[in-house]
């Protein structure tokens, strides 16, 4: 699975880890994140993420 990086802050979303604090289970691909999911570091939306 591909990793994605938040361009403004550098947070890396790793699908193998997920976002447990945000309720996202490990193994969740970036494409399957809810549309209202936000970066846990800076609070911006999925649209600012780029493929790593």
Structure confidence by residue, pLDDT tens digits, 1-52: 899 999 999 999 999 999 999 999 999 999 999 999 999 999 999 999 999 9
Q: Which residues are annotated as a binding site for Fe cation?
A: 6, 9, 39, 42
Task: Give the pLDDT of residue 46.
Answer: 98
Task: Give the pLDDT of residue 42.
Answer: 98
Query: Please, what is the end-to-end C-alpha distance for the chain in angstroms?
Result: 11
d(CA 26, CA 8): 24
Task: Give the pLDDT of residue 20.
Answer: 96
CATH topology of domain 1-51: Rubrerythrin, domain 2 (2.20.28)
Residue 33: beta bridge partners?
none
Helices within 1-52 (DSSP H only) = none
Q: Which residues are annotated as a binding site?
A: 6, 9, 39, 42
């Amino acid at each position: 699975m591909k990793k994605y990086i938040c361009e403004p802050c550098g947070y890396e979303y790793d699908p193998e880890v997920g976002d447990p604090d945000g309720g996202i289970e490990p193994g969740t691909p970036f494409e399957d994140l809810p549309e209202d999911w936000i970066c846990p570091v800076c609070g911006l939306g999925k649209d600012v993420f780029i493929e790593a």
